[in-house]
């Protein structure tokens, strides 16, 4: 999708040539003497339209207005959240039309947050998955909006946030695209190819390690998960070089389980098809790198993706098996459906070689996090308060929020094993927390955060599909780190416990 920002007043929008026009109207609207202002004033006066967020009025063929389709959309106080609600509602009317181009115009001056919300919502509403569909033989399917002109009276001051929003939108779209693909169209090797394609963009490089290289590194936990599948594992290493090599990078680690049957601890059949989304963490890392290539921040970033399937083959790991991780810790496998933490722990150990300023892992890890937070906020666990605060602030700015969960040392008691250094599950109580405590054992040498996106990475039901979260959160965090001095390393500024807020976490059908 192509976006363009122009200084545009209502009088200009009324004479534009776009086949569809959405006008965002905030509280306190004062009409001018143009045709669009007159239309809005009449609609408000009659009560057919209100400025409250989500209210809309569709008008076709209005007199003295060039665009044939006009949607008046109320945005209330004009905040980002209200704009997102309004644009989502307005796009419902536009999507059913044959319009391939759209002008979206703010009736009053706006701010950066509202502009970003408008761009991202248009992109979200316009996304259509087609990768594994045959080409339509007729024209019953409405065309996708491909060109969008954003108009605002104060556009000159909004160039930078517009660029940020477009970069994030392209990253989100890539993440959605790969997470939506069926497992036979998104194998570990195919994910590696997608990463190699990103390396064709400016400042990005890619290396891909196969089974032999991973074996030489001693990634026994990662190998154990992959050994039950005929699809060979891949360990993908992406690098974005936006700063001098001497500057420590931020490392992003994305869980890349391209399909999760649960292994020998097999999942129930209903909704198992949704386990193609178990690589949404990996997809979000791909999306972030797409955005980095667009935005070019002065920062070094490394992306690590341990990619494999979790299958119940005769060679698969069994409950009771003990495996050895890359850092030498032994792990008792009590549940093979808790495989995500096994591939992540070796990737976290691998991250040590970069002496990173911070490491953030992203994973559809636990059903317990879904029970605790639903699909509104991602679960955030962090060993460092400053890192947690920066991620929370980035999430709020990006309308991609997270919620900090506890990491009290007492939760580690559930992971004790009689036969290994640690067990891979800790029972039903506080399942999201004990999963994070397992990962924390492999993060002693750096500041670390874990985002459990099991509830936010995709939607079920009739709206089934990937959301692209938390690409927005991560990009905003990285942009905030660009040009900033590296924080103190782990051991000087870390915290073992999370925030006081401790949502109750039950256990769902997803393990990680």
Token output for 254:
């994305």
Q: What's the pLDDT at 144?
A: 77
Q: The domain spanning residue 265 has which CATH number?
A: 3.40.630.10
Q: What's the pLDDT at 487?
A: 81
Q: What's the pLDDT at 512?
A: 76
Q: DSSP letter at 183?
A: G
Distance CA 403, CA 406 (A): 10
Q: Read off φ and ψ for residue 343, nearest 5 degrees.
A: -75, -35
230 and 343 housed in the same domain? yes
Q: The domain spanning residue 88 has which CATH number?
A: 3.40.220.10
Rg of the chain, C-alpha, whole Å:
24
Beta bridge partners of 236: 208, 305
Sheet with strand 322-324: strands edge to edge: 322-324, 330-332, 422-423
Active site residues: 267, 341
Q: What's the pLDDT at 98?
A: 86
Distance CA 171, CA 167 (A): 6
Distance CA 88, CA 85 (A): 5
234 and 131 housed in the same domain? no
- Domain hosting 304: range is 212-481
Q: DSSP letter at 394?
A: H
Nearest residue to 1 via CA among 138, 131, 174: 174
Is 442 part of any domain?
yes
In 406-483, which residue ranges form alpha helices assigned H by DSSP?
A: 431-440, 471-481
Number of folded domains in the chain?
Answer: 2
148 and 218 housed in the same domain? no
Q: What's the pLDDT at 509?
A: 46
Token output for 336:
């093979």
Is 148 part of any domain?
yes
Q: How far apart, in Å, are the Cα atoms of 246 and each of 89, 386, 482?
A: 48, 22, 14
148 and 32 housed in the same domain? yes
Q: DSSP letter at 486?
A: P
Contact 71, 21 (CB under 8 A): yes
Q: What is the pLDDT along the chain (512 residues), one digit of tens a residue?
A: 899 999 999 999 999 989 999 999 999 999 999 999 999 999 999 999 999 998 999 999 999 999 999 999 999 999 999 999 999 999 988 887 888 899 999 999 999 999 999 999 999 999 999 999 987 655 556 567 889 999 999 999 999 999 999 999 999 999 999 999 999 999 999 999 999 999 999 999 999 999 999 999 999 999 999 999 999 999 999 999 999 999 999 999 999 999 999 999 999 999 999 999 999 999 999 999 999 999 999 999 999 999 999 999 999 999 999 999 999 999 999 999 999 999 999 999 999 999 999 999 999 999 999 999 999 999 999 999 999 999 999 999 999 999 999 999 999 999 999 999 999 999 999 999 999 999 999 999 999 999 999 999 999 988 899 999 999 999 999 999 998 888 876 544 444 434 333 333 333 445 67
Is 231 part of any domain?
yes
Q: What's the pLDDT at 141?
A: 60
267 and 355 housed in the same domain? yes
The crossing angle, in degrees rounded to 10, of helices 112-126 and 80-95 is 30
Residue 470: is the preceding peptide bond cis (ω within 30°)? yes
CB-based burial label for 324 (10 Å; 0-12, 13-18, 19+): middle
């Amino acid at each position: 999708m192509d976006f363009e920002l122009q200084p545009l007043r209502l009088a200009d929008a009324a004479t534009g040539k776009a086949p569809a026009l959405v006008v965002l109207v905030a509280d306190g609207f004062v009409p001018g003497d143009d045709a669009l202002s007159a239309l809005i004033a009449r609609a408000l006066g009659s009560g057919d339209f209100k400025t409250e967020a989500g209210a809309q009025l569709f008008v076709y063929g209005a007199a003295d207005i060039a665009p044939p389709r006009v949607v008046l959309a109320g945005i209330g106080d004009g905040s980002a959240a209200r704009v997102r609600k309004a644009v989502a509602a307005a796009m419902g009317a536009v999507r059913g039309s044959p319009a391939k181009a759209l002008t979206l115009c703010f009736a009053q001056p706006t701010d950066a947050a509202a502009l970003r919300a408008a761009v991202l919502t248009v992109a979200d509403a316009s996304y259509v998955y087609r990768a594994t569909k045959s080409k339509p033989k007729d024209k019953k399917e409405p065309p996708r909006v491909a060109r969008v002109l954003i108009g605002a009276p104060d556009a000159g001051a909004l160039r930078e946030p517009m660029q940020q929003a477009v970069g994030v939108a392209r990253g989100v779209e890539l993440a959605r695209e790969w997470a939506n693909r069926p497992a036979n169209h998104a194998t570990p090797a195919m994910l590696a190819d997608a990463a190699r394609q990103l390396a064709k963009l400016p400042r990005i490089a890619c290396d891909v390690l196969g089974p032999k290289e991973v074996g030489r590194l001693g990634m026994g936990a990662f190998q154990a998960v992959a050994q039950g599948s005929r699809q060979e594992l891949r360990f993908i290493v992406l690098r974005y070089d936006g700063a001098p090599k001497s500057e420590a990078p931020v490392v992003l680690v994305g869980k890349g389980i391209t399909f999760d049957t649960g292994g020998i601890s097999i999942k129930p059949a209903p909704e198992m098809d949704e386990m193609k989304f178990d690589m949404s963490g990996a997809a979000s890392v791909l999306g972030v790198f797409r955005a980095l290539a667009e935005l070019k921040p002065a920062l070094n970033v490394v992306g690590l993706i341990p990619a494999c399937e979790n299958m119940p083959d005769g060679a698969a790991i069994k409950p009771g098996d003990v495996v050895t991780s890359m850092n030498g810790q032994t792990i008792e496998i009590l549940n093979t459906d808790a495989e995500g933490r096994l591939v992540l722990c070796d990737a976290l150990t691998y991250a040590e070689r970069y002496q990173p300023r911070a490491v953030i892992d992203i994973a559809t890890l636990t059903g317990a996090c879904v029970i605790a937070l639903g699909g509104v906020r991602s679960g955030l666990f962090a060993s460092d308060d400053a890192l947690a605060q920066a991620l929370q602030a980035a999430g709020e700015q990006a309308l991609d929020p997270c919620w900090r969960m506890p990491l009290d040392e007492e939760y580690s008691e559930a992971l004790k094993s009689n036969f290994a250094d640690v067990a891979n599950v800790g029972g039903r109580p506080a399942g999201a927390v004990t999963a994070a405590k397992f990962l924390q054992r492999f993060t002693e040498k750096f500041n670390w955060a874990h985002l459990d996106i099991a509830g936010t990475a995709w939607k079920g039901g009739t709206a089934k599909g990937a959301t692209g979260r938390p690409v927005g959160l991560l990009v905003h965090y990285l942009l905030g780190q660009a040009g900033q001095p590296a924080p103190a390393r782990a051991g000087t500024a870390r915290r073992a416990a999370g925030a006081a807020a401790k949502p109750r976490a039950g256990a769902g059908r997803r393990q990680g």
